[in-house]
Amino acid sequence: MNYLPYFSMETWTLLVTVFTLIAVYAYWPYGTFKRIGVPGPKPIPFFGTMLNYKRGFTTFDQECFNKYGKTWGIYDGRQPVLCTTDISMIKTVLVKECYSVFTNRRNFRLNGPLYDAVSIAEDDHWKRIRSVLSPSFTSGRLKEMFDLMKQHSANLVSSMQKKADKNEVLELKEFFGPYSMDVVTSTAFSVDIDSLNNPSDPFVVNIKKMLKFDFFDPVFLLIAFFPFMAPIFEKMEYSFFPAYVTDFFYTSLKKIKASRLASKQEERSRTSSSSLSFLAYNLALNPGPMTKLQQEIDSAFPNQRVAKATVEINGLVIPKDAVFMVPLWPLHRDPEFWPNPEEFQPERFNKENKERIEPYTYMPFGMGPRNCIGMRFAVVMMKLAMVEILQRFSFVVCDETEVPLEMDVQGLLMPKRPIRVKLEPRSDH
């Protein structure tokens, strides 16, 4: 019995050709790392190695580091991504060859009005934007912003005081998130939203919506599977960022600009918020270092680049358009550079030990010409908050403190569940 449908020879030829082309398209990019001798997890057609992200980005990075060593290759859909914690390669890519070959960061397109943001812009366009923005983060400008930051740190401490007085558990992101947002909006937009006390303010609501991103968004997956679709979606003015959100900020900025002229005169908050939460969590778990930090405070304050051309680095040929990524989670936990990496040891970064840190092994703000432009701003903001809090309180663990933390599987480095601790007023104050 013939179970195959009856088709003419021309139809069979066409079907075989179509399926052959689909198979070639599905498997073609996945020989990139095999050809240059780079190990890595086995990709599957269209998805590449992306399904591993469901276990969490940090978990996947650490597993690859443990299994393949300092350099390995993965595939985001059809996009080859070379991952390395080799410090000589990191230095070459992020610094030495930044302006010649590795100038641009990875760009997923579909950025809408944010197409020329400093973190996305490319080549000479990026250089112009960076040169315009850099003067905003000089020491002099940061000093001018300090009084504004001080106001918001005072609001932060006041809000925490209310919880401490009632002996209630603090969900840290509910305090550090609004604090970071208030500092950024007041210094960058000249808008005082006081999100600690006004969580429903339109600025707060829209910023939270803008910062949400899902790597398994259907459109994102479609572009990962079929990269040639990206220009088509761009022509259709489709954006990963909701149009009503970007319209809100665009309108707000126009009003702010108009008001400044009449009188003649970006995502930063979430990373700072998470950093403050992680710091408070570690201080709560390690009262010894926290006490030492409080003593120092008391004494000081009374009361993914993209290769533009095929290039060879350290004997490894990186093909044009391959993405180069430094997986910071395993790099910052490499026992070769960080003895007992899971232990909270702030002394690693004191004046004596800081000089012994191997260059390019610690880069929380990136490295080279395309490092985080707001690095000094963020550090000042975080230090100010911690100084204000630790002058008055100590962080302590409670029954609701999760130990150890489970990390979120989404892109940004965040805990899966909110960090909860308690505040205790200092008995020596």
The whole-angstrom separation of Cα 122 and Cα 9 is: 51
With contact defined as beta carbons under 8 Å apart, do 68 and 83 qualify? no
Taking only the tens place, the pLDDT of each residue in 98-139 is 878 888 888 777 776 667 777 778 888 888 988 988 888 899
Cα–Cα–Cα angle for 106, 91, 95, rounded to 5 degrees:
65
Q: 272 in helix, strand or coil?
A: helix
Fold for domain 29-425?
A: Cytochrome p450 (1.10.630)
Please report the pLDDT score of residue 199 as a whole number: 77
Highest mean pLDDT among 4-18, 304-318, 369-383: 369-383
pLDDT band at 273 (very low <50, low <70, confident <90, very high): confident
The whole-angstrom separation of Cα 8 and Cα 14 is: 10
Task: Name every residue whose Cβ is closer than 8 Å to that of residue 36 and which is 6 or more positions away in sequence.
Answer: 316, 317, 318, 319
Percent of the chain beyond pLDDT 90? 34
Please report the pLDDT score of residue 67 as a whole number: 97
Please report the pLDDT score of residue 165 as a whole number: 92
Taking residues 167-195, report their average pLDDT.
Answer: 86
Of 293-302, 315-324, 369-378, 393-402, give the lowest mean pLDDT range.
293-302
Query: According to the 3-state scheme, what is the secondary structure of 244-255?
Result: HHHHHHHHHHHH
Please report the pLDDT score of residue 266 as a whole number: 41
List the chain domain ranges: 29-425
pLDDT band at 213 (very low <50, low <70, confident <90, very high): low
pLDDT band at 381 (very low <50, low <70, confident <90, very high): very high
pLDDT band at 413 (very low <50, low <70, confident <90, very high): confident
| Averaged confidence pLDDT in the chain | 84
Please report the pLDDT score of residue 65 as a whole number: 97
Please report the pLDDT score of residue 267 as a whole number: 44
pLDDT band at 411 (very low <50, low <70, confident <90, very high): low
Taking residues 63-90, report their average pLDDT.
Answer: 94
| Sign of the CA dihedral running 195, 199, 202, 207 | positive
Taking residues 57-86, report their average pLDDT.
Answer: 94
Taking only the tens place, the pLDDT of each residue in 221-265 is 777 778 877 777 777 777 777 777 777 777 777 776 676 555 544
Residue 270 has pLDDT above 70, yes or no: no
Please report the pLDDT score of residue 302 as a whole number: 55
Please report the pLDDT score of residue 429 as a whole number: 60
Residue 83 marked in a binding site: no
Taking only the tens place, the pLDDT of each residue in 327-346 is 999 999 999 999 999 999 99
Please report the pLDDT score of residue 1 as a whole number: 47
